[in-house]
């Protein structure tokens, strides 16, 4: 890839986000890692000689301030990876308004707002890659993740619509859907309660490849979709799930 391309990865301080940052940097892009935890973002950036910045994707003022700083330090955003996300496993009947609002803001409204903010620059340059880290929960549903599944399903539909609207501007928009992946969120679920071991084993048995994914499984899919070679691929949804879901 061209070293002139600039990639912004939200959730860049987390497991999947940091793996994506490392992979994009190795592919030759200049990478800005953004995270609501600014220290985590800067730790990732230090690993790859990139730029780390605190950004709250649920706050339009934070988005505007962060993008202005990224423009100064790194350049205009050519590749946006909407990776930031949040959830807690909970029966839908136990959710309340505050929980629903938080999940939707972080997983749906935030990525929408950030995408809208970077698109004018991409349109001006006639080149861009939008890559949304959705989830197989948004494709097939997931017990105890009703709101999260709805948000990720919304991101998939949003990505397809933006793909249609931006196709003539040299901008692609695609979704990557991880299956069960070894992240702190999954560990919190599988390591809790008396049946924690059984839950983890059941997940592994359900995956045809008989293992839980790792962040490094997701990153190569993002690198490909961010590349020059993926210029004719848009509006698509790619699962990285060891075969757990097949379209």
Any idea which residues carry the catalytic annotation?
A: 148
**Residue 94 has what DSSP assignment?**
G
For the purposes of burial, counting CB atoms within 10 Å of the CB of 109, is it exposed (0-12), middle (13-18) or buried (19 or more)?
Answer: middle
Q: Give the angle 3-215-244 at the CA atoms, nearest 5°.
A: 125
Q: Which of 204, 222, 213, 96 lies closest to 147 in space, CA to CA? A: 96
**Largest distance between two CA atoms of the chain:** 56
Helices then strands, each counted (H, E), the chain: 10, 7
Report the alpha-carbon distance of residue 9 to residue 226 in Å, rounded: 12
CB 131 within 8 A of CB 81: yes
Residues in CB range of 162: below 8 A, 6 or more apart: 115, 119, 130, 173
């Amino acid at each position: 890839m061209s070293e002139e391309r600039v990639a912004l990865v939200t959730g860049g301080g987390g497991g999947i986000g940091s793996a994506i940052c490392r992979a994009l940097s190795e592919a030759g892009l200049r990478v800005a890692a953004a995270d609501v935890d600014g220290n985590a973002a800067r730790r990732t950036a230090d690993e790859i000689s990139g730029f780390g910045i605190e950004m709250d994707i649920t706050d339009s003022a934070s988005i505007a301030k962060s993008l202005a700083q990224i423009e100064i330090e790194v350049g205009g955003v050519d590749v946006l990876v909407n990776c930031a996300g949040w959830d807690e496993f909970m029966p839908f009947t136990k959710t309340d308004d505050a929980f629903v609002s938080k999940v939707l803001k972080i997983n749906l409204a935030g990525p929408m707002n950030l995408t809208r903010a970077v698109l004018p620059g991409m349109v001006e340059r006639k080149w861009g890659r939008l890559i949304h880290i959705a989830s197989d929960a948004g494709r097939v549903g997931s017990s105890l993740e009703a709101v999260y599944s709805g948000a990720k399903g919304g991101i998939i539909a949003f990505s397809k619509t933006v793909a249609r609207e931006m196709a003539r501007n040299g901008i692609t928009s695609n979704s990557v859907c991880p299956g069960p992946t070894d992240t702190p969120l999954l560990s919190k679920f599988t390591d809790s309660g008396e049946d924690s071991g059984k839950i983890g084993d059941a997940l592994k048995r359900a995956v045809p490849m008989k293992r839980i994914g790792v962040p490094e499984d997701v990153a190569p899919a993002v690198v490909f979709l961010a590349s020059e070679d993926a210029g004719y691929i848009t509006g698509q949804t790619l699962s990285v799930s060891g075969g757990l879901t097949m379209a």
